[in-house]
Amino acid sequence: MTNETVGKRYMPEISRREIDELKSTMKAASQKVMAENIERMKKADPKRPQAMKYFDEISNLFGKRQEEIQAEKEKGKKVIGYMCLFAPTELILAADAIPVRVNSGWYDTSKLGDRVVPVEVCPVIRSTIGAKMIELSPFLEQSDALISVLTCDGMTKLGEILSDYKTIWGMNVPRIKDSAHSLRFWNDEIKQMKTQIEQFTGNKITRKNLKEAIEMSHRATKAFRRLQELRKGSPVIMGRDAMLVNQTFLWDDKQRWTEKTEALCDELEKRAQRKDWVCSPDTPRVMITGTPMFWPDNWKLPTLVEEANPQGIIVADELCSGERILNDPVGVDEWSMDDMLNAIGERYLMASTCPCFTSKDGNEDRINWLLNKVKDWNVQGVIYYVVRGCMLYAMEYTRVKKALDKINIPVYYLDTEYTREDVGQMKTRVEAFLEMLTARVDI
Amino acid sequence: MNTVGMDLGTQRVKVVVLKDGEIASRGQALSGFDPAKAAEQAVNEALKKANLKLSDVAYFVATGSAMDIAPYANSTVSMMGADAKAGVFLFPKARTIIDVGAEEARAVKCDEKGIMVDFVVNERCAAGAGVFIEAMARALEVKLEDMGPLALKAERASPINASCVIFGESDVVSLIHRQEPKPEIARAVFDAMADRISSMIHRLGVNPDVVLVGGVAKDEGFVASLNRKLGVNVMVPDYPDYAGALGAALTAATRAKETQK
Amino acid sequence: MDWNIIGDLLRLIALGGLGVAGIVAILIWKKNLATRVTLVRLVVQAVAFAAIFYVFSYSSIIPMLFELIFIFGLTIFLGRFFCGWLCPLGLIMDLEILARKALKIRHRVLPDKLNLALHKSRYAILLFFLLLPILLYALDPQQIMVSPLMAQLLAGYYRPYSIVLDPMIPFIVPWTGQLVVGSVNLSYPYAQEITTYVGANVGSILAVAFVGVTLLGGFFIRRVWCRFCPTGASVGVVNRFKGFKWAPMLHIDKDEEKCTKCGVCKRVCPVQVNDVYEQKGGKIKTSQCMLCARCVEMCPYEDTLKVKLGNKTLFKSRNWLEQTKSE
């Protein structure tokens, strides 16, 4: 039932031969890119933690994890993919299904997406469409159903386009966040999603299962927060490494990921005690905010920052492909089914800093997040990263800049595309920005 | 103490030799296919003018788009950092430095020490940079250096699209076909460019004094248009195209002192 | 020397010691940061319950007045701390919450508007009950003949201050004999007033109904009584006097920048206070809050919410994931 289509309403006809050809070349290219990225990350930190080996392995999109999921699928487990962080993964886990995030970071496939939507559309969307077109993404292929959360315009229509191939469950996000009415509406969406997942998987989500799932995500959040805490002090881990760890959570087994992350943190704590920094503690500390950056191709900005001359180190981010994944725990009060579902609803809606929201104070949560990170993580400069077509992030820049200007933190607006060609130009800008930060540190 | 700054731009390599904080000589060469070789030539030319040998130079700093392959360079500095240094050296009251080069336009906000505080760069489009004028001059069939004087003769400007060099060029062609007077088209070209650049500068804030450097600063037509758009009188130094190299040489002087310590 | 008073004092001190021991035991044993304060609060409530029970069993006017003075004195510094931590009726409702949790029954939420209206109406309720005895006295010529107003107000049944003290009457204190149902003597807040004012026969039925409704309400709606309790109002009134501005107040403080507006504080609040969530940082100004600190305890972001006495931080929000049991 997975690949049953309702008739192609969006996707162009594409021959089997072309799919296979494109898939094999792009897969080979992607494997090369992943290997190269990891090689460069290894080079950047000669004493890279042993625990990173696991994450290097799991980050291979065509590797071990994909095989594991396949094996589970053959045993009858369902895979539920999602495109936005708003998908309630606890419910998926409680129904004994596997949650995976399926957004694509492949540059090459964004050009294929151009066959369906105009180039003005956000490349994350185009790339995901392209990946589906040639069946490149293993996780997207394995998904039995997709949760499409109607956040930005791109995501809204992406679900619609992918419905050519997959069962799509829309989740309607109220865009005005600070009203009781919105929360009620969203909580109803969560409850409906619960029924939908139950029917689809045939597993009832019981109070006990849901409690276990929430506790599992608590443990993951605990490990995750511990890792971010370690980045507060002098650098013991390259920003890219931490970002990769954060991102692997999106497709890895949650239990194992938590254990491995705790192990990584143990190692990093020892490293901090030895005062064995990955780079000079004077290195400008950078935070990245803006459009999500997906492994493997869209790793160019973190790579540029940490390999630039002068070098920078990423100590924090505000990305839904990064620290926003697990920052907020599900705050359950009473462990009754009702309260747990409400808590899940609140965690996904209220705590989110996604720019698709507004309120009577605008998207103030995001500003607060940034100001707090700047203070506690001792951030010296912020890079505001936007891909062309990402309207919401682009439009919030002015407000973010004003807020950061007030506390005298420089912010640089860097816009780019899903392409490798502008790396030279980006390098000039990133280096000028880091030079500016260094000059400020010297004063 | 002698220091040398090299600016390896997309079209030309510019070199400034600094002798105890004073400009001793300048040199330049076309970048061509081998900017490194061009830089070598320009450095040797400038040193010869200043009666110096390579070994007399305490420190070399490179800047510009090809700075990573610069010969002799002890270190590099970003174009924006160099602009800020040079701008404040030339005009101590300068706080905004606009640099319009062949393929890139940027604006830098700096403090009284010439340290950059903020900057913007034009985004992936050459319509705000020197090549735009070049392309338009080609379409108008006038020499590049005649564009400025031509534009100054115009009372008004023809409407023109400046979102893109290619579209701009086809706009100009259609204006020619409509037989609009050439001076007005020339002025339109500068106005369109100044429009783009000024909106970029407004994102930084226009903090006086405003200094304009870079190769395009030599074009009085563009300067007039930019003054009109910004509502301030921008200051243009002599040899504005050497500002990047000068900034690099000044950076070299500071870094040389640091290393001596 | 009255040895009885010394004996009483010793008993109260022993009770206090038991309470401290209980708190220490909880702090050592309970590693889960998300429920620790709630448990500590239960111990404090239980000790306060026992102490008040003891004081009330005298059934004499002096300790009651003493208690009144003590509570209002406490209020100057601690605000509605009494409501959250000491009130016996509060304990009863908290025990109901525990029972409901054990039965895995969900609680109901009042609409925000109704909640606020109830809260505002408590001053009217307070005023009404304060004036009622005088009104009744004036309407009852027989009483005027028997004793002067002052004596009636202090020792008679028409005690206006009982509106303030009533929630402190322990749930079942047989020997005070305030409300007789069959052969059982019940003592329940306001039961006595109802029987007195309405008359014994109808009053008894009304009082039993009142007991039933409030108990049932408290079972499904957390701390339902506290939403409009006139005692809370009278306690809150003390804080309104400018003369007490010098006193370092117990309050909740919020760091706006650390807040992600996740809404946990709003959901866990037993009296549905919205101000902690809505206010933009700083001292939380609301008379609805009874300082139970559940929001501070459940806030998952380090240092975001704090319980402060003046400028001194007593307790702050922690990353409560830190000590949840790993399996």
For C222-241, write each residue's pLDDT tens digit: 998 888 887 777 776 666 66
* CA angle (C37 as vertex; C32, C40 as ends), nearest 5: 110
Cβ separation B79–A435 shorter than 8 A: no
Show the domains of chain B with their CATH numbers: 1-91+239-261 (3.30.420.40), 93-236 (3.30.420.40)
Give the residue among C86, C96, C221, C97 at the shortest CA–CA distance from C165.
C86
Q: Report the amino acid identity of residue A70.
A: Q
Chain C positions touching A375 (Cβ under 8 A) are 257
- When pLDDT is averaged across residues B51-67 and rounded to a whole number, the result is 85
For residues A34 and A65, is the Cβ–Cβ distance under 8 A? Answer: no
Contact A393, A291 (CB under 8 A): yes
Find out whether the peptide bond into B209 is cis, omega within 30 degrees of 0. yes
**Would you say residue C4 has pLDDT above 80?**
no
> Which three-class secondary structure state does DSSP give residue B83?
helix
Decide: C165 and C64 in contact? Cβ < 8 Å.
Answer: yes
**How many CB atoms sit inside 10 A of residue B196's CB?**
20
CATH number at residue C296: 3.30.70.20
For residue C221, the chain A residues in CB contact (below 8 A) are none
Residue type, B23: I
B77, B70 contact by CB (below 8 A): no
Sign of the CA dihedral with A244 first, then A246, A252, and A257 last: positive
Which range is least confidently modeled, B12-21, C21-30, C175-184? C175-184
Nearest CA in chain A to B121: A429
Q: Where are the alpha helices (DSSP H) in chain B?
A: 35-49, 79-90, 130-140, 147-152, 165-177, 182-204, 220-230, 243-260
Residue type, A196: Q
| pLDDT for position A1 | 38
Q: Do C15 and C74 share a structural domain?
A: yes
Structural domain harbouring C256: 248-316
**Closest to C95 measured CA to CA, from C223, C199, C273:** C223
- How far apart CA B191 and CA C20 sit, in angstroms, is 80
Dmax (CA) of chain A: 64
CB-based contact (8 Å) between B125 and chain A?
no
Q: Are C316 and C296 in contact (CB under 8 A)?
A: yes
Task: Enumerate residues 214 to 243 of chain B having a beta carbon within 8 A of any beta carbon in chain A.
Answer: none
DSSP state for residue B65 in the 8-state scheme: T
Whether the pLDDT of residue C146 is over 80: the answer is no
* Chain B interface includes A436 (CB < 8 A): yes
CA-nearest of A177, A394, A388 to A289 is A394
- For residue range C161-205, list pLDDT tens digits in order: 666 666 666 554 444 445 555 555 556 777 766 776 666 677 778
Residues C43 and C81 in one domain: yes
Interface of A with B in 289-328 (CB under 8 A): 309
- Nearest by CB: C321 against A225, A347, A365: A225
Nearest CB among A410, A424, A428 relative to B78 is that of: A428
Q: Which long-range contacts (CB under 8 A, 24 or more apart) does C24-27 make?
A: none
Please tell me which of A236-245, B26-35, C144-153 the model is most confident about, judged by mean pLDDT: A236-245
Final residue in a domain of this structure, among C57, C86, C106: C106
> Which residues in chain C are closer than 8 Å to A371, comparing Cβ atoms?
257
pLDDT reported for residue C243: 60
CA distance C104 to chain A (A): 6
Could you tell me which residue, A70 or B23, shows the higher pLDDT?
A70
- The answer to whether residue B118 neighbours chain A at the CB level (below 8 Å) is yes
Express each pLDDT in B172-194 by its tens digit: 888 888 888 888 888 888 888 88
Instruction: Report the pLDDT value the prediction gives residue C245, as an integer from 0 to 100.
Output: 63
ipTM of the complex: 0.85
C102, C117: one domain: no
Whether C100 and C16 share a structural domain: yes
User: Is B65 in Cβ contact with A428 (below 8 Å)?
Assistant: yes
- The H or E element containing residue B100 is strand B96-100
Q: Tell me how many domains chain C contains.
A: 3
Residues linked to residue B6 through DSSP beta bridges, in sequence order: B15, B62
At residue C272, the pLDDT reads: 92
pTM value is: 0.87
CA B79 to chain centre: 10
Provide the token pair at A427: 């390098």
C230 lies in some domain: no
- HEC profile of chain A: CCCCCCCCCCCCCCCHHHHHHHHHHHHHHHHHHHHHHHHHHHHHCCCCCCCHHHHHHHCCCCCHHHHHHHHHHHCCCCEEEECCCCCCHHHHHHCCCEEEECCCCCHHHHHHHCCCCCCCCCHHHHHHHHHHHCCCCHHHHHCCEEEEEECCHHHHHHHHHHCCCCEEEEEECCCECCCHHHHHHHHHHHHHHHHHHHHHHCCCCCHHHHHHHHHHHHHHHHHHHHHHHHCCCCCCCCHHHHHHHHHHCCCCCHHHHHHHHHHHHHHHHHHHHCCCCCCCCCCCEEEEEECCCCCCCCCHHHHHHHHCCCCCEEEEEECCCCCCCCCCCCCCCCCCHHHHHHHHHHHHHCCCCCCCCECCCCCHHHHHHHHHHHHHCCCCEEEEEEECCCHHHHHHHHHHHHHHHHCCCCEEEEEECCCCCCHHHHHHHHHHHHHHHHHHHHC
Q: What is the pLDDT of residue A402?
A: 92
Residue C234 placed within a domain: no
- What whole-number distance in Å separates Cα of residue B228 and Cα of residue B140? 23
Chains contacting C (3 or more CB pairs within 8 Å): A
pLDDT, tens digit, 9 for 90 and up, residues C245-294:
666 678 899 998 889 888 899 999 999 999 999 888 888 888 888 889 99
Q: Cα C45 vs. chain centroid, distance in angstroms? A: 9
Q: Please report whether residue C231 resides in a domain.
A: no
Instruction: Please tell me the distance from the alpha carbon of residue B89 to that of residue C41, in angstroms, as a whole number.
Output: 68
Name chain A contacts of C256, Cβ cutoff 8 Å: 368
On whether residue C21 sits in a domain, the answer given is: yes
Residues paired with residue A365 on neighbouring β-strands, in sequence order: none
pLDDT in tens, chain A (443 residues): 344 444 578 888 888 899 999 999 999 999 999 999 999 999 999 899 999 999 999 999 999 999 999 999 999 999 999 999 999 999 999 999 999 999 988 999 999 999 899 988 999 999 999 999 999 999 999 999 999 999 999 999 999 999 988 899 999 999 998 888 899 999 999 999 999 999 999 999 999 999 999 999 999 999 999 999 999 999 999 999 999 999 999 999 999 999 999 999 999 999 999 999 999 999 999 999 999 999 889 999 999 999 998 899 999 999 999 999 999 999 998 889 999 999 999 999 998 999 999 888 888 889 999 999 999 999 999 999 999 899 999 999 999 999 999 999 999 999 898 988 888 888 888 999 998 998 876 54
Exposure of A148 by Cβ count < 10 A (0-12 exposed, 13-18 middle, 19+ buried)? buried
Q: Worst-scoring range by mean pLDDT, A167-176, C75-84, C112-121?
A: C75-84
Q: Are residues C24 and C81 in the same domain?
A: yes
**Rg of chain B over all Cα atoms, to the nearest angstrom:** 19
Q: Which chains touch A (3 or more CB pairs under 8 A)?
A: B, C
Is-contact B196 B221, C-beta < 8 A?
no
Pairing of the two strands C282-283 and C250-254: antiparallel
Instruction: Please give the radius of gyration of chain C, using alpha carbons only, rounded to the nearest integer.
Output: 21
